[in-house]
Copies of this chain bind each other. A is one copy, B any other.
Amino acid sequence: MNRRDFATLSALALAATKLPSIGQTSPDRKPVGYAAIGLGTISDIFMRACANSSKAKITALVTGHPADKGKKYAGLYGIPPTSIYTYETFDRIRDNQDVEAVYVGLPNSMHLEYTQRAALAGKHVLCEKPMAISSAECRTMIAACHAAKVKLMIAYRIQYEPLWNRAIQMISSGAIGQLQSFQGGFYNHQDAGAWRLSRKLGGGGSVLDLGIYPLNAIRHITREEPANFTAVVSTRDHSGRFAEVEQSIEWTMKFPSGIVASCGCSYGQSGPAFLTVNGDQGYLDMRPGFFYDAPRLSGQVSGQTGGKQIDIAGNGRNPYQFTIEAEHFASCIRNDREPLSPGEEGLKDLLAIESIYRAAGTPIA
């Protein structure tokens, strides 16, 4: 993404808040048909998001439970029985002309396989974050999509959320002066037995699922890759819930420009989901920052007559962020453009995540 792309997206995102109809397809362009792979919580949200759009449509389902879950969602979204696939029959999706893209809403460790199989079937891939459980897997996925000439987008959200884009525009326009530091975090609870607590399915601890939010946001805002890391992990809950992944992790990053950051996340804490951006002339605080409903932006920006406090509530209810995502990828497919969060973005986050776990002394790959 270059600066012009960024400015265009920002303008579109801002316009979108005022003109909900901007996403409408011109009459001669049918919506992009998505197959939802995996029918868990996140796919449910994505399917509802597509139902709110005229540019994206759920046209097929891939599930291990075709008779119940499959039937239920097929009924909801008008999908014919012939477009309900199992993981075994998935590769036949190649012949389904109603499907142009897939949405991979599976546990982390399955992203690689289904991205590869979708690419081989000639379908574009919108894959949930984290892209995969190692940078090596990410590279394989990028290569597979490249070889198959299909597009690959990682389902990050802040790149597409209007208030995030407004905050990033403010930063770019110098509202807080020269960037100095970030503090970010995402602390949430996972019950014992959740797949995210399984090293095999999750691929690692909460950095892959939660810490990736401030990490990706900071990388997106700085347009730099972090060069130096420190990290500390801890597990106070000895019930066995955290036998395979850490309960808590806090880390620091330093970027080539000298920008520094400290972040944390956890599957065993209750805490905020936030990002604070400090400049030498002001600061911005997204709090909440990473939930499905709209974020809130506060802080102090510099003005001609001194610092000014701001407090701006975002606008949008779940699944609005997924609708923007689905439409962005649909637009990329229709217009043959690269998505704003391509596979390379997912790869760079995984490289940083691997560095974080290495710095903590608990390498994941």
- Give residues in A with beta carbon < 8 Å to B: 176-178, 180-181, 183, 185, 187, 189, 228, 230-237, 247-254, 257-264, 266, 268-272, 276, 278-283, 285, 300, 302, 307, 359
Contact = CB atoms under 8 A, between A and B. Distances in A.
Contacts of A260: 232-234, 248-250, 264
A266 B278 contact: yes
A228 B232 CA distance: 9
B230 A232 contact: yes
A57 B285 CA distance: 42
B180 A280 contact: no
Given A228-B232, A272-B285, A250 B280 contact: no
Please state the number of chain copies in the assembly.
Answer: 2
Contact of A269 (B181, B185, B258): B181
A231 B251 CA distance: 9
Contact of A232 (B185, B254, B307): B254
Interface centre among A258, A282, A300 (most CB of B within 10 A): A258
Contacts of A359: 230
B258 A250 contact: no
Contact of A180 (B178, B231, B266): B266
Main secondary structure of the interface of A (DSSP, over half): strand
Given A180-B236, A236-B280, 5 more contacts: A181-B187, A187-B278, A189-B280, A270-B282, A271-B278
A262 B352 CA distance: 18
24 contacts: A178-B237, A180-B187, A180-B271, A181-B250, A181-B264, A183-B183, A183-B250, A183-B262, A183-B264, A230-B230, A230-B231, A232-B254, A234-B254, A234-B258, A234-B259, A250-B252, A260-B264, A266-B278, A269-B279, A270-B279, A270-B281, A270-B300, A271-B278, A272-B283
Contacts of A249: 260
Nearest to A247: B180
A163 to B, nearest CB: 19
- Top 7 A-B residue pairs of the complex, sorted by shortest distance between their CB atoms: A230-B230, A271-B278, A262-B262, A250-B262, A236-B258, A180-B269, A269-B278
Nearest to A181: B248
A269 B252 contact: no
Nearest to A237: B280
A252 to B, nearest CB: 5
